[in-house]
């Protein structure tokens, strides 16, 4: 795609390049949806007889108003990036993994087992072993619905939900028997949990060097999460599997005709999703608690679905969506002190935000398509020789953003 110069000069003068158009359109859609959510929230706040400015500023104060707040926001975002990626990857291939919840719970058990049993390993190796164990655990739990989907056609939404229930019971069993905390002093009542993980097996605190409170437990896992989102981006933009997955997602029939094995692609995508899901629980057991407690944080997998939608299933968009989610979550903490607005307000706000993001993105997408077509027409008039390739490029750009099946020249990269 180095034929940029072929386009007629007049067209370049009159319009921005397609990618900039797309970027601007999406940025505007995001700002608009934020605006809609903030405004609808303001109406609710006024209905409660409080000041929107005060409420919103207390939310911002608690989230980004201090280094501690930022630390908390990023620590909240860390697991959500993983879980949203785990949802987005199969979504691109037309699959809906609702089982991230169960996959990360199982992964926590497997990682806890690795931490407890492999305590003789030196620091970095133990952490890597635990992370690998978690990814394998998540993959194993995702493999069951994946294989069922490919071999029997059992719908992944149903099977993954069922696997979630089994996962919850599995933790209860593991904590009572194989991983039971046996170092507790006689007579002390301690909650049900695993033994403490060895000191060298815990992921280091990232926040301390920025003066962030230890209570936030901001860890290096944040960087791993951001790296994972780039890996996912690379997977879908630059690899054969990613290309095939998008093709299967857009049109299984065409993909099969194009030579892709649908079953193999679906299974691979599910396994990658499971591996990402496996890392969701690592923030709480390797950075926050240092053991697997029975009252572990739940629903991170389900929240990941919301975050993935908010980020429009784009790996980089997901990182920002997770951070935005963290800001709103901190808002819940803020609202409970010195405000009559109930904490559920934040949940409503999150819901409105997702709705408005979906709507505004759809509008932006349509507008962009219309513009592309329009420009195509102009270019065609001015330079008919260049028009065919230009038309193809324009369509590719637009299809790529909607995650649809891209034409053949994409494969050459």
Verify binding: residue 5, other proteins, rule CB under 8 A.
Answer: no
Residue of 114, 96, 167, 116 lying closest to 138 (CA atoms): 167
Which residues are paired to 193 by β-bridges? 293
**Who's near 76: CB < 8 A, 6+ residues apart?**
322, 325, 326, 329, 330
**Who's near 337: CB < 8 A, 6+ residues apart?**
none
For other proteins, the closer CB: 197 or 236:
197
Query: Which range touches other proteins (CB under 8 A), out of 1-9, 180-188, 223-231, 260-268?
Result: 180-188
For other proteins, the closer CB: 156 or 398:
398
Out of 12, 298, 316, 373, point to the residue binding other proteins (CB under 8 A).
298
State in angstroms the smallest separation of the CB of 316 from other proteins. 23
Verify binding: residue 299, other proteins, rule CB under 8 A.
Answer: yes
Residue of 94, 12, 97 lying closest to 382 (CA atoms): 12
Tokens (6 digits) for 70:
């930022």
State in angstroms the smallest separation of the CB of 77 from other proteins. 12
Q: How far is CA 237 from CA 230, 240, 246, 314, in A?
A: 10, 9, 10, 11
State in angstroms the smallest separation of the CB of 337 from other proteins. 6
List the Cα angle 372/375/381 in 5-degree steps. 145
3-class state of residue 314 by DSSP: coil
Verify binding: residue 295, other proteins, rule CB under 8 A.
Answer: yes
Residue of 179, 195, 166, 177 lying closest to 106 (CA atoms): 166
Verify binding: residue 247, other proteins, rule CB under 8 A.
Answer: no
Query: Which range touches other proteins (CB under 8 A), out of 175-183, 199-207, 267-275, 317-325?
Result: 175-183
Query: Which range touches other proteins (CB under 8 A), out of 121-129, 223-231, 271-279, 284-292?
Result: 284-292
Verify binding: residue 337, other proteins, rule CB under 8 A.
Answer: yes
Q: Do 221 and 286 form a contact (C-beta atoms < 8 A)?
A: yes
Query: Which range touches other proteins (CB under 8 A), out of 210-218, 236-244, 265-273, 382-390?
Result: 210-218
Q: How many alpha carbons lie under 13 Å from residue 107 in its C-beta half-sphere?
A: 38
DSSP state letters, 269-291? HHHHHHHHHHTTTHIIIIIIISS
Verify binding: residue 183, other proteins, rule CB under 8 A.
Answer: yes
Verify binding: residue 198, other proteins, rule CB under 8 A.
Answer: no
For other proteins, the closer CB: 56 or 233:
56
Out of 44, 54, 60, 406, point to the residue binding other proteins (CB under 8 A).
54
Q: Do 375 and 215 form a contact (C-beta atoms < 8 A)?
A: no
Query: Which range touches other proteins (CB under 8 A), out of 130-138, 222-230, 328-336, 384-392?
Result: 328-336
Out of 297, 359, 383, 406, point to the residue binding other proteins (CB under 8 A).
297
Dist CA 135 CA 121 (whole Å): 19
**Who's near 267: CB < 8 A, 6+ residues apart?**
143, 146, 147, 149, 150
Verify binding: residue 171, other proteins, rule CB under 8 A.
Answer: yes
State in angstroms the smallest separation of the CB of 113 from other proteins. 17
State in angstroms the smallest separation of the CB of 18 from other proteins. 14
Verify binding: residue 204, other proteins, rule CB under 8 A.
Answer: no
Length of the chain: 413
Dist CA 229 CA 319 (whole Å): 7
Per rule CB under 8 A, count of chain residues that contact other proteins: 66
Tokens (6 digits) for 85:
């990626």
3-class state of residue 186 by DSSP: coil
Verify binding: residue 190, other proteins, rule CB under 8 A.
Answer: yes
Verify binding: residue 355, other proteins, rule CB under 8 A.
Answer: no
Residue of 292, 277, 233 lying closest to 142 (CA atoms): 277
Verify binding: residue 330, other proteins, rule CB under 8 A.
Answer: yes
For other proteins, the closer CB: 29 or 247:
29
State in angstroms the smallest separation of the CB of 17 from other proteins. 15
Binding site for other proteins (CB under 8 A): 28, 31-32, 35-36, 38-39, 42, 46, 49-54, 56, 62, 68, 72, 76, 168, 171-173, 175-176, 180-181, 183-185, 187-193, 195-196, 213-215, 289-291, 293-300, 303, 329-330, 332-334, 336-338, 343, 367, 371
């Amino acid at each position: 795609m180095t034929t940029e110069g072929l386009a007629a000069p007049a067209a370049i003068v009159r319009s921005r390049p397609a990618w900039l158009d797309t970027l601007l359109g999406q940025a505007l859609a995001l700002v608009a949806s934020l605006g809609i959510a903030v405004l609808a929230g303001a109406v609710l706040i006024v209905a409660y007889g409080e000041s929107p400015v005060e409420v919103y500023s207390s939310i911002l104060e608690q989230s980004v108003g201090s280094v501690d707040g930022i630390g908390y926001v990023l620590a909240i975002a860390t697991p959500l990036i993983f879980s949203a990626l785990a949802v987005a990857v199969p979504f691109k291939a037309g699959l809906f993994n609702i089982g991230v919840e169960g996959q990360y719970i199982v992964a926590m058990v497997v990682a806890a087992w690795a931490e407890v049993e492999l305590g003789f390993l030196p620091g970095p190796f133990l952490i890597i072993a635990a992370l690998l164990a978690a990814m394998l655990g998540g993959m194993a739990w995702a493999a069951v619905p994946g294989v069922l989907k490919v071999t029997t056609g059992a719908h992944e939404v149903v099977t993954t939900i069922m696997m979630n229930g089994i996962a919850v019971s599995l933790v209860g069993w593991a904590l009572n028997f194989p991983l039971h905390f046996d170092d507790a002093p006689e007579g002390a009542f301690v909650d049900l949990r695993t033994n403490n993980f060895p000191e060298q097996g815990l992921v280091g605190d990232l926040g301390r060097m920025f003066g962030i409170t230890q209570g936030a437990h901001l860890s290096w896992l944040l960087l791993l999460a951001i790296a994972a989102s780039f890996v996912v981006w690379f997977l879908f933009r630059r690899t054969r599997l990613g290309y095939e997955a998008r093709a299967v997602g857009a049109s299984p029939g065409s993909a099969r005709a194009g030579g892709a094995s649908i079953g193999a692609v679906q299974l691979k995508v599910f396994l990658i999703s499971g591996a990402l899901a496996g890392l969701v629980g690592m923030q709480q057991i390797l950075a926050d608690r240092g053991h697997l407690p029975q009252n572990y944080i739940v629903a991170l997998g389900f929240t990941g679905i919301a975050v993935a939608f908010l980020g429009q299933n784009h790996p980089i968009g997901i990182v920002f969506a997770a951070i935005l989610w963290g800001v709103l979550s901190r808002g819940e903490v803020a609202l409970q002190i010195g405000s009559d607005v109930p904490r559920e307000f934040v949940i409503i706000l999150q819901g409105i935000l997702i709705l408005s993001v979906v709507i505004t993105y759809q509008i932006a997408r349509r507008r962009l398509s219309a513009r592309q077509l329009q420009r195509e027409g102009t270019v065609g008039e001015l330079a008919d020789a260049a028009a065919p390739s230009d038309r193809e490029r324009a369509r590719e750009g637009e299809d790529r953003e909607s995650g649809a099946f891209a034409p053949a020249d994409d494969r050459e990269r």
